[in-house]
A and B are shown apart, each in its own frame.
Chain A
């Protein structure tokens, strides 16, 4: 295939996509103008609130009959990785609790399976404290992936040094920074379970962390793994993914959890400087897995002023 043809095909695809789905251009031209062999694609796969759903939900489930299951998800992940090796697989917390598998095996199976599926990183949800931070710590040897949380301060707890604020990855020369955010534990989790863990203000921590990722780590892509919840209609001031997006900058994608929100397509929200942030969440129990593809041009000068988001 010649470059021209490839370009033409892509244009056609974009055009078609634009006709049927939301198509948002940032600043000026909406059509991406060039595709070169140097273009790079980063695929982000994500789950949230899997809640020990090892097997698919029962066929008589009131909301998601017969959906989910690790063995099926493994097949989906394999197929995507085969198509694009530059893939990251992330989880936004509440890995634990929800089926007797957790009650009997304490999270061993969840972590082992996530390792087998090739999860790269996760953050902690409130239910991941259900066997105490000691119970979480005990299962860590079963996870060959890391956990990040920027706003839980684990100083003086067994998890001190085990959970970092963020982690960076380099895929095909693209540097990706992923940081974690957790929900306020007081009132949600018994103090005897989270012990001396301190919850820090997510917005302030995010501003510091993103600055670090952008200016010091020089990340090309910044992703937040959030267990804050999508939005609180009854408590509009309670910090949520929507509020986080509006009050910060330089985050490309917020992967949410906690509220078990199943978004039909990611939400596009304006950040504090009017740029677009993507927020996505996939219900619960692994009924859906999110896939977000980021396309990078190797030569910035060829890009029409702006990026397009097709959701």
Chain B
């Protein structure tokens, strides 16, 4: 590809421009054309789209598994059935990939409550549900955090008091401080580093999760959260939504 244009070319203008019929731009008009329902669809185009639409709908609406009750993000105080499921799926699907690529294991998962974009009603679960719950293209990333940063993370959760999805970690809030933190079934150790699975969006400081910025290390596993959901649904027959008090108020 030619990137450098030699200044030599200028020499030629004088010779060639007078040979060309002179045209002058004298007026410019602009309009923004709205593409709304008053515009009739061109039939040949609609017809062309139709089989793709059909095939897509068949894919999206194929039953992958079922849920025995509604999965929502609003059925608990500091946790939710949808959030627990989503974080658990990220752990179940992401951890083996991470382990295979690095030899390390994911210690726990933190996503954000706002990232759950839809509920899944009781009954059949399809890929369309996965697209609705997770319409974004975010990928799972594993960040290595110092105990000090994990402490900041725990303070964030305690201050926010939101049902941010978590997995493989339990904690309680008492008098605006956290307590009884277990990670991987072991008590939280301030001196230890932890591998935390989150989304690339949150790692970059989304939802003010600043503790994820500038970690000790970042590892991308090239695995989208939505694809993790779809893969999990495909390998499961029935989901029983559960609230297990992984994040709760003491008393």
Residues of A within 8 A of B137 (CB): 97, 130
Cβ–Cβ < 8 Å partners of B12 in chain A: 215-216
Provide the bound-state CA to CA distance between A296 and B25, in Å: 4
Interchain CB contact under 8 A, A292 and B28: yes
- Would you call A76 an interface residue if the criterion is a C-beta within 8 Å of the partner chain's C-beta atoms? yes
Chain B: interface size category: 35 or more
Contact between B33 and A71 (Cβ–Cβ < 8 Å)?
Answer: no
Tell me the bound Cα distance from A101 to B56 in angstroms.
7
How many A-B pairs fall under 8 Å by CB?
194
A72 engages B25 (CB within 8 Å): no
* Chain B residues whose CB sits within 8 angstroms of the CB of A309 once the complex forms: 27-28, 30
CB <8 Å contact, A310 and B32: no
B40 and A72 contacting across the interface, CB-CB below 8 Å: yes
Binds B, one of A135-143, A231-239, A240-248, A300-308: A300-308
**Of A14, A67, A174, A208, which one neighbours B4 at CB under 8 angstroms?**
A208
- A109 interface residue (CB < 8 Å to B): yes
A212 pairs with B35, CB closer than 8 A: no
Query: Within 8 Å CB of A174, what residues of B?
Result: 23
> Helix, strand, loop or mixed for chain A's interface?
mixed
Cβ proximity bits A96-127 to B, threshold 8 Å, 1 near / 0 not: 01001101110001001100110000000000
Do A200 and B52 touch (CB < 8 A)?
no
The dominant DSSP class at the B interface is mixed
Cα separation A54 to B50 with both chains bound (whole Å):
11
Within 8 A of A (CB), among B144-203: none
Please determine whether B35 and A76 come into contact, CB atoms closer than 8 angstroms.
yes
Known: A75-B40, A164-B1. A265 touches B32 (CB 8 A): yes
**Chain B residues near A (Cβ < 8 Å):** 1-5, 9-10, 12-13, 16-17, 20-37, 39-46, 48-49, 52-53, 55-56, 59-60, 127-128, 131, 137, 220, 222
A-B contact pairs, 28 of them (CB 8 A): A32-B27, A71-B46, A74-B45, A78-B42, A104-B55, A116-B48, A160-B1, A165-B2, A190-B222, A208-B4, A212-B5, A215-B13, A221-B25, A252-B25, A252-B28, A265-B32, A280-B30, A286-B35, A288-B32, A288-B33, A295-B27, A297-B26, A301-B22, A303-B24, A307-B25, A309-B30, A310-B30, A311-B30
Closest A-B pairs by Cβ, 4 of them: A71-B41, A74-B42, A300-B24, A71-B45
